[in-house]
Structure 1
Amino acid sequence: MTGSPQASDRVRQVVVFVLALVAIAGAFFGSGALGGTPIQDAAGGALASDSTLIAPAGPAFSIWSVIYLGLFAYSVWQLFPSQAARAVHRRVGYLIALSMLLNAAWIGVVQLNQVGLSVLVIFVLLTVLGVTFSLLLRTPRNADSKAAVVVESIVLDGTVGLYLGWVTIATAANVAAWLTALGFRGFGIAPDAWGVGVVIVAALCGVATAISGRGRLTPAIALAWGLCWLAVARITDEPASQLVGIAAVVAACVVMIAAVVYRFVAQRADSHSAVA
């Protein structure tokens, strides 16, 4: 339901917009454009594409441009007077703002060579995005027109979905980078086995998201994108692992198939409910 805008709504709108600008500025800093060290070179190269078996190839990170564009579009759209008092923004606006703050914080701690702290930050970020995604699924919408529905599905649901899917694989890569930096040797288990195990866990997270999200495609697309570029890195670059590369391709296919199947199932269930 939409009530009258309150002062708290205006504050939330401004906070979301300002933190979108902070996140974008942090991204430029983390890319080296504003004086920071490029993420792949920061922390002694712990997060470079050749640092671990779970690190995606460099082009994978271009998805951030799409995510930042979506976050900025959302921050502008939710500023409109017609959006101020909508329930969906009241429920997720501050969570999205928090995710953008955590994003900037993650870049900052990596710049400070704190890989262990970056793991904590990205786990919190993943949790916040998971809660946001869940709330979006459970929040009734009251868009004024079909055009508004399309805009909302792109700048809100689509952006959060991509963000969640990408951070899922990024969290796995971050943990692997931290353990490698600590000198973890895998308790005698072969690195390839560990790599395949992590890929399987990422795929299971993707399938779980597809089920809980009733087949929402954007989380699956982002996760599959990361897995495919992980495969490229392992097959064409060091440290090489054909086994991990193949597992990543299979995992990407499983995640996408799960999303498509559950989307079809959800749509059929909705259509049957409407008829009944």
Structure 2
Amino acid sequence: MNASRTWRGSDLARQIVVLSALSFMLIAAVIGAGAFGNSAVEDQQGGALDTDGSYLAPAGPAFSIWSVIYLGLIVYGIWQALPGQRTNPRQRALGWLIALTMTLNGLWLVAARFGTLFLTVVVIVLLLAALGWTFKVAVTTREPRGGVVDSVLIDGVTGLHLGWVTLATVANTAAYLTTVVPPSWEDAASAIGIAVLIVVALIGLAIAWRSSWRVTPALALAWGLGWLAVERFGGEPQSTPIGVTAIIVAVVVLVPPAVVSLLRLIRPSVD
């Protein structure tokens, strides 16, 4: 028998922990959506997390990406619980980390509902760090992938989660800073927003480069940036310079990994 496939007590524990983390995250998400008479996330923290909470908040439709991410995590949770995945080396390397990202995801919603705006920033930064590490392990581990399902539910879903939370961290931090900086700073809001978006472009390209140009983080990041532009053009607070910059950054972060992915489809030997 392959030693790496020998059953360990920690394997079952890992599967249970992943399902528990998934359940916690989903319960927090339902409450965060405004079920059971609670206010929705955008109405919490005095409305600071709404689309008009800062110059770097995306429009409401951007948040529909959570449906895709949650669906992917639900399917992953069910899939990893199958007996055939119990001793899978990839699950051993990533299951605990994915459970951590689910837990932090749920904790952010708890912080938004019961904590402070600053606490939401702390939690989302921790979530971003956990997702970055998880994605790094997913794309660099030498354990063989289990086909398309493995690639989609681990690399793909984690990549989407990472890309979206990258922009969400920027929006969340901007919302917090908007509540604490002097009102006079609004005169420089466009310049500051453009500078931040340039940093986002560098981060997006760095993620793509470090992951051998995987496209899913860029897709989620570009999606959020597109809706950020929509909100700055037609919403409040309005800023055409930030909107234009967001569109440029979306193109910058999406085109290189998209081109590499297309080339890989045409020529599978492209690294």
Tell me the distance in 2 between the aligned counterparts of 1:62 and 1:188: 29
Counterparts of 2:185 and 2:238, CA distance in 1 = 20
Summarize the alignment of residues 166-185 of structure 1 with structure 2, pairs less than 5 Å apart: 166-185=164-183
AA of the residue aligned to 1:21: S
1:136-165 CA deviation, whole Å, 9 max, x = no partner? 11113435xxxx511111111110000000
Please, which moves more after superposition, 95-104 or 256-265?
256-265
The alignment partner of 1:190 has SS state of helix
The 5-angstrom pairing of residues 1-276 of structure 1 reads 2-143=4-145, 148-185=146-183, 190-263=188-261, 271=269
Higher deviation after alignment, 237-246 or 258-267 = 258-267
Name structure 1 gaps, 5 residues minimum.
none
Which 10-residue stretch deviates more, 83-92 or 122-131?
Answer: 83-92
State the secondary structure of the residue aligned to 2:5.
Answer: coil
Q: How far is the alpha carbon of 1:186 from its aligned partner? A: 7.3
Distance of 2:216 and 2:151 partners within structure 1: 11
Measure, in 1, the Cα distance between the counterparts of 2:102 and 2:184: 33
Contact 2:232 2:238 in 1 (8 A): yes
Counterpart contact for 1:215–1:261, Cα < 8 Å: no
> What's the offset of the Cα at 1:263?
4.2
Task: State the SS of the aligned residue for 2:40.
Answer: coil
User: What letter corresponds to residue 44 of structure 1 in structure 2?
Assistant: G
Once residues 123 and 272 of structure 1 are traced to their aligned partners in structure 2, the CA distance between those partners, rounded to angstroms, is 34
Measured on the aligned residues, the alpha-carbon RMSD in Å equals: 2.1
Q: Distance in 1 between matches of 2:214 and 2:36?
A: 36
Shift of 1:4: 1.5
Are 1:230 and 1:245, in contact at CA under 8 Å, matched by a contact in 2? Answer: yes
Deviation at 1:260, TM superposition (A): 2.4
The separation in 2 between residues aligned to 1:185 and 1:139, in whole angstroms, is 48
Label 1:184 to 1:156 Cα distance change in 2 as closer, same or farther (>3 A): farther
Q: How many residues are treated as equivalent by the alignment?
A: 269
Task: Give 1:255 shift.
Answer: 0.5
**Contact 2:263 2:270 (8 Å CA) reproduced:** no
1:271 partner SS: coil
User: Structure 1 residues 251, 186: closer, same or farther in 2, change over 3 A?
Assistant: farther
TM-score of the superposition, structure 2-length normalised?
0.93
CA contact (8 A) 2:204 2:253 kept: yes
Secondary structure, aligned partner of 1:34: helix
